[in-house]
Chain A
Amino acid sequence: MTEKNWPLWEVFIRARNGLHHAHVGSVHAVDAEMAIENARDVYTRRGEGVSIWVVPSAQIVANDPGDKESLFDPALDKIYRHPTFYEIPDGVGNI
């Protein structure tokens, strides 16, 4: 194979106005313009979106999956951060 690999782009789509962009997949493209066009053809054939972001995959920084426990476990035992932790007597009404 003589052809060189085209850069990979991650595709984020806003489904409707008012919603955030969410990751939907990826496309290969030589430049940003083609990445948008390809993302439009591949990921919005049924009205799935009103806005597309593309980001070069190489630009995304992710945490090491091996650090999952040290990063996220400390939040697990802090249930007092959730409103359901607190008991409010019935008579108080909505709070």
Chain B
Amino acid sequence: MYSQALDQRDESPRGVDDAARLARFDERVAAEDKIEPNDWMPAAYRKTLIRQISQHAHSEIIGMQPEGNWLTRAPSLRRKAVLLAKVQDEAGHGLYLYAAAETLGITREELVDQLLTGKAKYSSIFNYPTLTWADMGAIGWLVDGAAIMNQVPICRCSYGPYARAMVRICKEESFHQRQGFEIMLTLSRGTDEQKAMAQDALDRWWWPSLMMFGPHDASSVHGEQSMTWKIKRFSNDELRQKFVDATVPQADFLGLRVPDDELRYDAGSGHYVFGEPDWDEFAAVLRGEGPCNEQRMAHRRRAHDDGAWVREAAEAHAAKHKAAVA
């Protein structure tokens, strides 16, 4: 049940039974039992989930912008219909995730407010611009590919509502990644100019995609506790490695070059060895200094303000009909 109204069970006074409840919680998590909204959970677990799920939801909502940028300029009606479906999916994913976060006792309005005031973060990747049509391909293939790598393990997250939202999202993300790869494939098999456009998109999106997995494990703030709580199943570096291993052969298939001079296959380990992302750039984008941070936030605030009259009208309509019935 997603109802936040049912979710106020752990307000009882802190006392001797906290230790017992914590032990019981740890046991359940260790035994792969799902934690549901009405169950007792430690405050830090609740807080971590609210932070992670809401950041995830905000990323879906802000993530509509880089692709929305190309809706009116898609090269064919088919491409346009596909891109529109994908952008609608991102909105849907944001809503599944907001609903999951709300089961933890925070309201939708608070969540939206945290995004609009800049208190909450969203994925750094969406602060990069989409300069050409090939970026729609690169985003689907790389950004959604990285997102799937991150999200598939969350389908087994210890918190039930988050895990269930993730199952739904992952099914839909698969379409996103495949349509992106199809765009890259078409361009890479096209004219020299189209191929160059595909290569340029790969050059610009490769490193930001690797940064999506977050800092190295050694400097990850939330990593270890999230693993114990089974919110996270693999570390940042493990997921990044999986992504590189899966994606480099796809780039080879496209006949495109991954922009990393240190990239090589290590037959001994069966993994690709790759270079370091520019972590200073990552930190700068997180601080709000990426190429599009201001634009993304300004657009979201404007869209929210522009929609205010629609929300007011809906409320007035509902109030009027309620009065008529009463």
Chain B residue total in the interface (Cβ 8 A): 34
Whether A45 lies near B99 (C-beta < 8 A) is no
Chain A residues contacting B39 (CB-CB under 8 Å) are: 65
| C-alpha gap A3/B226 in the complex (Å) | 34
Question: Are A25 and B99 interface neighbours, CB within 8 A?
Answer: yes
Known: A27-B99, A57-B4, A65-B9. A5 touches B38 (CB 8 A): no
Residues 297-326 of B, flagged 1 when their CB comes within 8 A of A and 0 if not, give 000000000000001001101100110000
Contact A10 B38 (CB under 8 A): no
For residue A15, give the distance in angstroms from its CB to the closest CB of chain B: 14
Which A-chain residue is minimally distant from B175 (CB atoms)? A46
Chain B interface main SS type: helix
Task: Compute how far the CA of A66 lies from the CA of B12 in the bound complex, rounded to whole angstroms.
Answer: 13
Q: Is B1 a contact of A5 with CB atoms below 8 Å?
A: no
Asked whether B225 is an interface residue with its Cβ less than 8 Å from the other chain, the reply is: no
In the complex, what's the smallest C-beta–C-beta distance from A10 to chain B, in angstroms?
6
B108 contacts chain A at the CB level, 8 A cutoff: yes
- Most chain A CB neighbours (cut-off 10 Å) among B40, B109, B165, B322: B109
Which of B88-96, B262-270, B271-279 interfaces with chain A?
B88-96
**A residues in contact (CB < 8 Å) with B:** 1, 3-6, 8, 10, 23, 25-28, 30-31, 34, 41-42, 45-46, 57-58, 60, 62, 64-66
Interface residue ranges, B against A (CB under 8 Å): 1-6, 9, 36, 38-40, 85, 88-89, 92, 95-96, 99, 102, 107-110, 113, 164-165, 172, 311, 314-315, 317-318, 321-322
